[in-house]
Amino acid sequence: MSKHAPPLLGLARVIDAVNARFGQACAWLTLFLVLGTALVVVLRYGFGIGATALQEAVLYAHALVFMGTAAWVLQRNGHVRVDIFYQRFSARYQALVEVLGTLLFLLPVCLFLGWASWDYVANSWATLEASSETGGLKVVFIQKSIILVLVFTLVLQGISEIIKAAYIVAGRLPEPEVKHG
């Protein structure tokens, strides 16, 4: 391969970099989850003070930890795989399975989730939905938008994975070492 990556491979690398940075930033929210939850407990049981806004902020952060890091986990091949054949395939066959799995499962599920949640999120934005709890956050519409962040980042990562796997299938990238077990 030449010094300059083919344009599609360059696009995959940009998607990977953006999703990695976003996923890493969302992963840091786990620190807030621990500290925020501890503070809510101390305030509630130590001082009898309710902290609704903080509780809701922890809830929003929890959603971002899982939905905001999903594409990064996919990129790092950290998702759960239940198979008995894939691990024994050559790198080329694994790449072909990745292409087919992404095209037949990941992208359709993401597109369905985006389609099914669009009105839910749009209606929330149309009314600038706020918490129904006294002292709650006024940005429920932003929290609901995290669903679309999940869809967008997973679709982008799926495209990146297809590009990289297609180059492996075509023999234009060196086959990664296959790890068994």
pLDDT in tens, 79-136: 877 777 888 888 899 999 999 999 999 999 999 999 999 999 999 999 999 999 999 9
**Alpha carbon of 31 to those of 26, 58, 61: distances in Å?**
10, 10, 10
Question: What residues contact 39, with CB distance under 8 A and at least 6 apart?
Answer: 51, 54
Query: Which of 179, 157, 162, 167 shows the shortest CA–CA distance to 92?
Result: 167
With contact defined as beta carbons under 8 Å apart, do 180 and 88 qualify? yes
Q: What pTM was estimated for this model as a whole? A: 0.88
The neighbour count for residue 70, using CB atoms within 10 Å, is 22
pLDDT bin (cut points 50, 70, 90) of residue 176 is: low
Q: Where are the alpha helices (DSSP H) in the chain?
A: 7-27, 29-41, 47, 52-75, 91-101, 107-126, 140-169
